[in-house]
Amino acid sequence: MLRDAGLVALKDLRIEWTSRILTAQVLPFGLLVLILFGFGISPERIVQGRDRRTVLEDVSPALFWLAVLFSSLLALGRAFAIEAEDGNLDALQLAGLDPAGVFLGKMLAISAELVVLELVIGGGALLLYGATIEHPLLLVAVLVATTFALSAAGTLYAALGAGIRVRDTLVPLLVLPVLAPVLLGATRATESALYGSASDGWPWAGFLGAFALLYLGAGILFFGSLLEES
Amino acid sequence: MNASELDGPRVKRTVLGQEGRVVSTSSELTRALGVVAIVASVVLVVLGLFVSPADLFQGDNVRLFYLHVPVAIVALYIAFTVTLVGSVMFLLKGSVFWDLLAGAAAEVGVLFLGLTLVTGMLWGRPTWGAYWVWDPRLTSTAVSFVLYLGYLAVRKLEMDPTARSRRAAVLGIVGFANTIIVKYSVSWWRGLHQGSTLKPLDSQIEGLMMFSFFVGVVAMMAVFAWLLVHRFRLAWLQYQVDERQLEVALRERRSEGSSSGLAQGGI
């Protein structure tokens, strides 16, 4: 299973590396979302009762994770678009790959892509929204846990839309409510890491880790059922 | 897959394809169930609107309680549990019966969940001063509502029926687990910031109010069961029609092939 996972992950990452869709389209999209949030929320507005902190800085964790979430939808769509052509998913199974391995591999590839996305969008958020990091260790833990939570649940749900015409509209409808708790936890934990107390953030990081593990298990268990064509 | 292999329900008067027979989804059982549902609903209206007293604090607003809470109980605890069980059984056994049952329950469940949200908002406006407050219960119910809309969307996909059923079943199982996670995370979120301030009704209700509530639960369960049975039978008939159409089409195609020769058929 792990060997298959490695093969699939490397294959996906190699495709992304040569096609450059992630760097040329998804990353700029994420940054664009950040800028648009700035337009929507006037940058000068100050939080009432807080000394000189802007609204934008105050809600920057939420905006950051929303930007990541929307961009990750594109990455997830890509991950299964490349399999849709020429019956690739069938071919993967015909090649004798374990469905659980295929799930893990796709999840790992998406995780790697998400890390890149988070670093770039996060850097953009720090610059654009003027946020500062209080507790870097907590932030790293949150990023890691959220990455796996997003990729595990995202891969499972994106597979539900694999190989169907209306994938582009269906997958966001399926994935976003499922990821709502992840957005909630990641935002709260990031708020703690940026300007709160770390002790508030760690339980949320644990929650995100548990969420990731749960969906990892569900993916390994159910991915085979999703891949079968009939 | 052959239709006779499937363990379907025994439906009287609904023999498909027999000329001159009206195809219907009703039977003695559903008629009795329908009568129970109607009578209980009428009793609920009389009790809830006229007989039961106004609340000490909430006045007449309390009357929404007799509809809102039963509807929520049916949606959240009964309907989606049926979907969960149907989904698990479908993945284990692969029989169309469980798949259709899961789908029918989800469809009626979404209807009841929508009613829960609407009645809750109508109640919230006079009680809390706003249609929507970010109470854990409201928030998690709204997310579950969208989640099951997604489930229904998957069931409507144009693709191989068996593969679609399998995807829907996975969604029915994981979605159920996810509603629990949503509920947990949202209560935790609100719990961190504020105590549970919103208690729509004191838990100490008794006498006539308790009885009205009880009638409400019975009435809504009867309505749910009645809708579920009909929806399921409709889905079952639809399934049989689809199967039959395929058979007929295959037979026509074969006879075409034998009379005119396959060579002219082209690719």
Residue B108 falls inside a structural domain? yes
Confidence at B258, pLDDT banded by 50, 70, 90: low
Cβ contact A160–B149 (<8 Å): no
Cβ contacts from A onto B, under 8 A? 77
Compute the average pLDDT of residues B114-124: 91
CB of B107 within 8 A of CB of B254?
no
- The answer to whether residue B87 sits within a structural domain is yes
Q: Given CB atoms, is A84 within the 8 Å cutoff of chain B?
A: no
Residue B59 is given by DSSP the state B
Grouped pLDDT means (10 residues each) for chain A, 230 residues: 87 88 89 92 78 83 94 89 78 85 93 95 91 91 96 92 82 92 93 88 93 94 79
Q: What is residue B181's predicted lDDT score, i.e. its pLDDT?
A: 87
Summarize the confidence of residues B45-49 as an average pLDDT: 89
Q: How far apart are CA B223 and CA B107, in angstroms?
A: 14
Bridge-partner residues for A54, per DSSP? A46
| Band of residue B265 on the pLDDT scale cut at 50, 70, 90 | very low
Answer for the pair B103, B169: CB distance below 8 angstroms, yes or no.
no
| Total domain count, chain B | 1
Q: What is the pLDDT of residue B260?
A: 53
Q: Cβ–Cβ of A160/B188 closer than 8 Å?
A: no
Distance from CA of A209 to the nearest CA of B (A): 13
Q: For the segment B147-163, what is each residue's pLDDT rounded down to a tens digit?
A: 999 999 999 988 888 88
- For residue B196, is pLDDT > 70? no
Beta bridge partners of B55: B59
> How far apart are alpha carbons B166 and B89 in whole angstroms?
11
Q: Is residue B30 part of a domain?
A: no
**Any domain includes B166:** yes
Closest chain A CA to residue B187: A181
d(CA A172, CA A157): 9
Chain A residues whose beta carbon lies within 8 Å of the beta carbon of residue B90: none
Number of folded domains in chain A? 1
Q: In the structure, what pLDDT confidence band is assigned to residue B227 with cuts at 50, 70 and 90?
A: very high
ipTM over 0.90 threshold? no
Q: Say which DSSP state A24 is in.
A: I
> Which structural domain, as residue segments, surrounds residue B186?
66-194+207-244
> Quick one: pLDDT at residue B6?
45
Q: What is the pLDDT of residue B204?
A: 55
Reference B91, options B2, B177, B171; nearest CA is: B171
Range of the domain at A8: 2-227
The reported pLDDT for the residue numbered B198 is 45
Cα–Cα distance between A15 and A23 in angstroms, integer?
12
Nearest to B3 by CA among B248, B264, B260, B182: B248
B154 and A170 within 8 Å at the Cβ level: the answer is yes
Indicate yes or no: CB of A218 within 8 angstroms of CB of B174: yes
Task: List, in sequence order, every residue forming a beta bridge with A46; answer none if it has no partner.
Answer: A54
DSSP track, A63-106: HHHHHHHHHHHHHHHHHHHHHHGGGHHHHHHHTT--HHHHHHHH
Q: pLDDT of B73-88, one tens digit each?
A: 999 889 999 999 999 9
Phi, psi of B266 (to 5 degrees): 70, -165
Give the one of B91, B160, B182 whose C-beta lies nearest to A181's C-beta: B182
Q: Which residue of A has its CA nearest to B168?
A: A160
User: Does residue B267 lie in a domain region?
Assistant: no
Q: Would you state the pLDDT for residue A216?
A: 95
Q: B170 and A228 in contact by Cβ < 8 A?
A: no
Residue with more model confidence, B60 or B205: B60
Residue B41 placed within a domain: no
A:21-80 residues touching chain B, CB 8 A cutoff? none
